[in-house]
């Protein structure tokens, strides 16, 4: 079923006079996707509190329903009635993922262990993104790609007789790792993923929480994650913590608006996701993790950020997996730091919702900031003030849109974006939450 494209909604931000308060950002997107999928693969009822109700996650909920596992909101929580590993059903229609690479790639692993055929589709942006990195190991396990494509739309045929594999990921990718481990739940034996660099470990943590037998071992500089096949998962109660990638936009604004003092309550602080906050500290920003605790196998804290004089830094390539989604907004913060900020090892940014390296640099230059790409490195020369006044092409990318609205909160002249529509994919309350703290926005 086709839909008429939504007309673009140009927007802009103005310099904020103050920025302070305590807020709670929407639930973590990565954990929201996984809670729905793992609930579908579990036996019994999974109850999810704090699910992110952005478009990406709601598309995953619809797909779970299409596969025969009811997933719906009941009062303030979401309930998933699981069908068990191997128990999902043949869908009657295409599985539509909208803009969500995470939802699509992880779902490939979910459907892999079932004797069903699915056609996966997405929007124009998702249909350009690479899927081969996930499809290659799944094909080795026994999944068939029926139309020979490695971008959406594509059709997969799963198998109830998957072969367990040992797979070393060629590039750091939590999505590839997760897809293989999810397929491994249904395989006849142990499936192992070997990583050269650590990536987000939400899948391992949550699988363990749902009852899977999963182990992690270090072998020199590499990590091997092994899941036992023919797994039996049990429905659980899941509390989704605040998304650190969404919280990063609030923290970034607090880093650049004079006198800012903001606390973001109940945020996920898994060390595979906190590189942005480490970098803010290195730049001189006052960042504190308060009231640390654990919920559902994940570490949580309240993050307090206070504005301070910022200095440019080198961000090493090893940090990239822990903050890959935050580089556009970090580059906007770097515009306000004295000296040069070098962000290294960013090849992955070229294949996100847009080419985020090119889009970020273009947006900075349009607003009077010296920035360039050198290979896989983004270099921003910052200063005490940002001219602003430019209009940024977002390329249908929610994180580019939000990053440059943050840039405008400290700029001399308003900063515009060509379309705010896609912000709803990950942070539907962005405008109201930021305005409540003192952000200045307007439609153009």
373-405 b/e (C-beta count within 10 Å ≥ 16 → b): beebbbbbbbeeebebbbbbbbbbbbbbbbbbb
Distance separating alpha carbons of residues 372 and 198, to the nearest angstrom: 28
Closest to 271 measured CA to CA, from 300, 302, 247, 249? 300
pLDDT band at residue 195, thresholds of 50, 70 and 90? very high
Distance separating alpha carbons of residues 335 and 310, to the nearest angstrom: 10
What letter does residue 129 receive in the DSSP assignment?
Answer: S
* pLDDT score of 5: 65
Domain that holds residue 394: 11-27+241-443
211 found inside a domain: yes
Residues 258 and 219 in one domain: no
Residues 23 and 126 in one domain: no
Which stretch of 128-132, 326-330, 408-412 has the lowest confidence by average pLDDT? 128-132
Residue 340: how many other CB atoms lie within 10 Å? 15
Rounded to an integer, the average pLDDT of 257-266 is: 97
Decide if pLDDT at 2 tops 70: no
Decide if pLDDT at 325 tops 80: yes
pLDDT band at residue 296, thresholds of 50, 70 and 90? confident
Q: Are 414 and 340 in contact (CB under 8 A)?
A: no
Rounded to an integer, the average pLDDT of 148-153 is: 93
Decide if pLDDT at 389 tops 60: yes
- Which H helix or E strand runs over 244? helix 244-256
Residues 19 and 48 in one domain: no
Residues 88 and 150 in one domain: yes
123 is catalytic: no
Residues 287 and 429 in one domain: yes
* pLDDT score of 52: 93
Decide if pLDDT at 426 tops 90: no
Residues 19 and 38 in one domain: no
Residues 144 and 33 in one domain: yes
Distance separating alpha carbons of residues 252 and 80, to the nearest angstrom: 35
Q: Does residue 426 or residue 110 have the better pLDDT?
A: 110
3 found inside a domain: no
Q: Which tokens belong to 102?
A: 């995470």
Q: Does residue 426 or residue 401 have the better pLDDT?
A: 401
Residues 155 and 296 in one domain: no
304 found inside a domain: yes
Residues 110 and 150 in one domain: yes
Closest to 56 measured CA to CA, from 369, 348, 428? 428
5 found inside a domain: no
Residues 128 and 258 in one domain: no
Residues 271 and 190 in one domain: no
221 found inside a domain: yes
2 found inside a domain: no
1 found inside a domain: no
Residue located via tokens 């070098």: 342
pLDDT digits (tens, 9 = 90+) for 348-380: 888 776 789 999 999 999 999 999 999 999 999
Last residue of a domain, one of 198, 219, 239: 239
Last residue of a domain, one of 239, 271, 295: 239
Q: Report residue 355 CA to chain centroid gap.
A: 16
Distance separating alpha carbons of residues 289 and 280, to the nearest angstrom: 13
pLDDT digits (tens, 9 = 90+) for 76-128: 999 999 999 999 999 999 999 999 999 999 999 999 999 999 999 999 989 99
Q: Look at strands 233-234 and 42-49 and give their pairing.
A: parallel
Average pLDDT, the chain: 95
**Crossing angle between the packed helical segments 132-141 and 174-184, to the nearest 10 degrees:** 20
* pLDDT score of 4: 55
* pLDDT score of 3: 47
Decide if pLDDT at 341 tops 70: yes
Q: Are 213 and 142 in contact (CB under 8 A)?
A: no
Which of 28, 243, 302, 325 is an active site residue?
A: 325
pLDDT digits (tens, 9 = 90+) for 154-194: 999 999 999 999 999 998 899 999 999 999 999 999 999 99
Q: Is 21 exposed, middle or buried (0-12, 13-18, 19+ CB in 10 A)?
A: middle
* pLDDT score of 1: 41
Residue 168: how many other CB atoms lie within 10 Å? 12
Q: Which tokens belong to 329?
A: 């907004």
Distance separating alpha carbons of residues 96 and 112, to the nearest angstrom: 17
Q: How many domains does one find in the chain? A: 2
pTM: 0.86
Residues 231 and 247 in one domain: no
pLDDT band at residue 202, thresholds of 50, 70 and 90? very high
pLDDT band at residue 295, thresholds of 50, 70 and 90? confident
The CATH number that applies at residue 406 is: 3.65.10.10
| Residue ranges of E strands in 50-94 | 71-74, 77-83
Decide if pLDDT at 73 tops 90: yes
């Amino acid at each position: 079923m086709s839909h008429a494209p939504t007309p673009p909604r140009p927007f802009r931000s103005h310099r904020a006079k103050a920025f302070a308060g305590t807020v709670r950002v929407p639930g973590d997107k990565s954990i929201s996707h996984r809670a729905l999928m793992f609930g579908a693969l579990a036996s019994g009822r999974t109850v999810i509190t704090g699910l992110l109700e952005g478009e990406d996650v709601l598309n995953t909920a619809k797909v779970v329903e299409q596969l025969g596992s009811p997933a719906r909101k009941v009062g303030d929580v979401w309930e998933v009635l699981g069908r068990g590993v191997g128990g999902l059903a043949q869908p009657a229609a295409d599985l539509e993922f909208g803009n969500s690479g995470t939802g699509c790639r992880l779902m490939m692993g979910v459907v892999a262990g079932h004797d069903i055929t699915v056609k996966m589709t997405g929007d124009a942006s998702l249909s350009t993104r690479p899927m081969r990195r996930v499809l290659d190991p799944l094909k080795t396990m026994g999944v068939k790609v029926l139309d020979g494509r490695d971008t959406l739309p594509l059709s997969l045929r799963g198998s109830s007789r998957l072969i367990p594999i040992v797979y070393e990921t060629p590039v750091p990718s939590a999505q590839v790792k997760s897809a293989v481990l999810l397929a491994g739940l249904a395989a006849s034996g142990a499936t192992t993923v070997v990583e050269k660099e650590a990536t987000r470990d939400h899948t391992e943590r949550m699988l363990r929480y749902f009852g899977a037998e999963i182990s992690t071992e270090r072998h020199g500089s590499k990590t091997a994650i092994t899941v036992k096949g023919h797994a039996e998962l049990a429905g659980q109660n899941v509390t989704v913590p605040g998304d650190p990638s969404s919280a990063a936009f609030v923290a970034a604004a607090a880093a650049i608006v004079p006198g800012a003092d903001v606390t973001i309550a109940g945020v996920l602080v898994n060390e595979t996701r906190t590189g942005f906050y480490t970098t803010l500290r290195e730049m001189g920003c006052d960042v504190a993790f308060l009231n640390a605790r654990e919920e559902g196998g994940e570490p949580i804290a309240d993050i307090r950020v206070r504005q301070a004089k910022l200095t440019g830094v080198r961000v090493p390539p090893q940090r990239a997996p822990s903050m890959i989604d935050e580089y556009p907004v970090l580059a906007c913060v770097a515009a306000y730091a004295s000296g040069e900020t070098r962000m290294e090892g960013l090849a992955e940014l070229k294949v996100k919702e847009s080419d985020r390296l090119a889009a970020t640099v273009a947006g900075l230059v349009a607003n009077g900031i010296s920035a360039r790409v050198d290979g896989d490195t983004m270099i921003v020369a910052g200063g005490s003030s940002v001219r602003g006044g430019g209009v940024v092409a977002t390329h249908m990318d929610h994180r580019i849109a939000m990053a440059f609205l943050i840039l405008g909160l400290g700029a001399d002249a308003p900063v515009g974006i060509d379309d705010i529509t896609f912000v709803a994919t990950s942070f539907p309350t962005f405008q109201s939450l930021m305005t409540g703290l003192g952000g200045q926005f307007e439609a153009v």
